[in-house]
Chain A
Amino acid sequence: MSPAYLALEDGRVIEARTRVPGRTRGELVFTTAYTGYEESLTDPSYEEQVLTFSYPLIGNYGVREERFESDRVHPRAAVAHELTEEVVEWLADEGIPAVDHLDTRELVTSVREEGAMRCGVAAGESATAEAAREELDACLPMSNHDDIGARVSVAEAATYDPEGEVVAEVALVDCGAKGSIKRSLLERGARVHLLPYDVDVETVADLGADVVFISNGPGDPKTFEAAQHLVEELVGERPVAGICLGQQVVANALGGSTAKMEFGHRGVNQPVRDLDSGRVVMTTQNHGYTVVDPGELDVTQRNVNDDTAEGLASSELGVITRQYHPEANPGPHDSLDFFDDVLELARGEDPLS
Chain B
Amino acid sequence: MTNEDRTILLIGSGPIRIGQAAEFDYSGAQACRALEEEGARVVLVNSNPATIMTDPEMADRVYIEPITTDAIAEIIRKEDPDGVIAGLGGQTGLNVTAELAEQGVLEEYDVDVMGTPLDTIYATEDRELFRDRMRSIGEPVPRSVTIDGRDQVDDAVAEVGGLPAIVRTTYTLGGQGSGVVSDRDELMEMVRRGLRLSRNGEVMITESIDGWVELEYEVMRDAGGSCIIICNMENIDPMGIHTGESIVVTPSQVIPDRGHQVMRDAALDVIRELGIQGGCNIQFAWHDDGTPGGEYRVVEVNPRVSRSSALASKATGYPIARVTAKVAMGERLHEIENEITGETTAAFEPAIDYVVTKIPRWPVDKFDEVDFELSTAMKSTGEAMAIGRTFEESMLKALRSTEYTPAADWTTVDDKELAENYLATPRPERTFAIFEAFDRGYDLDEIAELTGIKEWYLERYGRIVEAARDAPTGDFADAARIGFTNHEVEALTGGGFSDRHSSWLPAEETRSDGGPSVDDIEADVPGRTYKQVDTCAGEFAAQTPYYYSSRKPEWLRGPYEGDAAAGELEVDRDTESVIVVGGGPIRIGQGVEFDYCSVHAVRSLREDGVDAHVVNNNPETVSTDYDTSDGLFFEPITAEEVADVAEAADADGVMLQFGGQTSVNIADPLQAEIERRGLDCAVLGTSVEAMDLAEDRERFNALMNDLDIAQAIGGTATSEAEALELARDVGYPVLVRPSYVLGGRAMRVVHSDDELKKYIQEAVRVAPDKPILIDEFLADAVELDVDAVADGDDVLIGGVMEHVESAGVHSGDSACVIPPRSLGDATMARVRKVVEKIAVELGTVGLLNVQLAVTGVHDENADSEVYVLEANPRSSRTVPFVSKATGVPIAKLAAKVMAGQTLADLDATESIPEWASVKEVVLPFDRLPNSDPRLGPEMKSTGEVMGTAPTFGEAYDKAQDAVGKGIPEAGTAVVDLSAEEFPNPHSEAGQELRERFAEHYDLVDFETEAAFSEAIREGEIDFIVSRARGPLEVAVEESVTYFSTAASAHATLDALATKEEPLAVKAVQDHPRRDARWGA
Q: Which residues of A contact B (CB under 8 A)?
A: 3, 15-17, 30, 32-36, 38-39, 54-57, 60-61, 64, 66-67, 81-82, 101-105, 108-109, 112-113, 267-271, 273, 278-282, 304-305, 328-334
Contacts and interface: CB of A to CB of B under 8 A. Distances in A.
Q: Which 3 A-B pairs have the closest CB atoms?
A: A36-B257, A32-B351, A35-B257
7 contacts: A16-B555, A34-B352, A38-B257, A54-B538, A105-B353, A304-B347, A329-B257
A279 B226 contact: yes
Contact of B552 (A103, A104, A330): A103
B130 interface: no
A52 to B, nearest CB: 10
A36 B264 CA distance: 14
Interface in B232-247: none
A36 B257 CA distance: 5
Contacts of A82: 390
A269 B352 CA distance: 11
A67 B292 contact: yes
Interface in B387-422: 389-391
A273 B333 CA distance: 11
B733 interface: no
Given A34-B352, A64-B292, A279-B226, A330 B553 contact: no
B864 interface: no
A304 B334 contact: yes
B345 A101 contact: no
Given A39-B257, A269-B349, A278 B538 contact: no
A269 B260 contact: no
B539 interface: yes
Contact of A267 (B265, B343, B539): B539
Contacts of B332: 278
Interface string B541-559: 1000000000011110000
Contacts of B354: 56
A61 B256 contact: yes
Contacts of B261: 328, 330-333
A82 B390 CA distance: 8
A303 to B, nearest CB: 10
A128 B539 CA distance: 30
Contacts of A66: 292
Contacts of A282: 228-229, 348-349
Given A103-B552, A108-B537, A109-B538, A54 B353 contact: yes
Contacts of B538: 30, 32, 54, 105, 108-109, 112
A331 B257 contact: yes
B344 interface: yes
B225 interface: yes
A34 B333 contact: no
A268 B231 CA distance: 12
A17 B390 CA distance: 16
Nearest to A64: B292
Interface residues of B, number: 51
Contacts of B268: 334
B103 interface: no
Contact of B345 (A17, A271, A281, A330): A271
A304 B344 contact: yes
Contacts of B255: 35, 61
B254 interface: yes
Interface string B266-280: 001000000000000
Contacts of B568: 109
Interface in B254-302: 254-258, 260-262, 264-265, 268, 292
A304 B390 contact: no
B180 interface: no
A17 B539 CA distance: 24
A108 B540 contact: no
Contact of B531 (A15, A30, A105, A330): A105
Contacts of B225: 279
Contacts of A34: 251, 351-353
B334 A271 contact: yes
Contact of B537 (A55, A281, A305): A55
B337 to A, nearest CB: 12
Interface of B: 224-226, 228-229, 251-258, 260-262, 264-265, 268, 292, 332-334, 343-345, 347-355, 389-391, 456, 531, 536-541, 552-555, 568
A234 B189 CA distance: 75
A332 B264 contact: yes
Nearest to B344: A305
Contact of B353 (A17, A60, A108, A281): A108
A57 B256 contact: no
A269 B348 contact: yes
Nearest to B264: A332
Contacts of B226: 279-281
A213 B228 CA distance: 29
A296 B255 CA distance: 44
A56 B355 contact: yes
Given A32-B539, A109-B538, A269 B345 contact: no
Nearest to B265: A333
Nearest to B536: A32
A17 B261 CA distance: 32
A304 B228 contact: no
B221 to A, nearest CB: 11
Contacts of B334: 271, 273, 280, 304
A54 B537 contact: yes
Contacts of A55: 251, 351-353, 537
A60 B540 contact: no
A103 B345 CA distance: 28
A264 to B, nearest CB: 10
Contact of A57 (B292, B345, B348, B391): B391
A16 B539 contact: no
Nearest to B388: A56
A109 B537 CA distance: 9
A282 B390 CA distance: 27
The winner among A17, A33, A267, A282 for most chain B CB atoms within 10 A is: A282
A273 B347 CA distance: 9
Given A67-B257, A103-B553, A112-B541, A279 B224 contact: yes
B390 A81 contact: yes
Contacts of A304: 334, 344-345, 347-348
B391 A112 contact: no
B531 A101 contact: no
B363 to A, nearest CB: 33
B554 A101 contact: yes
A277 to B, nearest CB: 8
A38 B259 CA distance: 13
Contact of A67 (B254, B256, B345, B348): B256
Contacts of A38: 256-257
Nearest to B225: A279
Contacts of A329: 257-258
Given A280-B226, A331-B257, A57 B350 contact: no
B553 A32 contact: no
A43 to B, nearest CB: 12
Contacts of B540: 112, 305
Nearest to A270: B348
A16 B553 contact: yes
A305 B348 CA distance: 9
A53 to B, nearest CB: 9
A328 B252 CA distance: 19
A54 B261 CA distance: 19
A60 B552 CA distance: 22
B665 to A, nearest CB: 32
A60 B253 contact: yes
B254 A61 contact: yes
Given A67-B256, A104-B353, A282-B348, 9 more contacts: A17-B553, A32-B537, A32-B538, A33-B257, A35-B252, A56-B390, A82-B390, A105-B353, A270-B348
A235 to B, nearest CB: 32
A180 B353 CA distance: 26
Contact of B539 (A15, A104, A112): A112
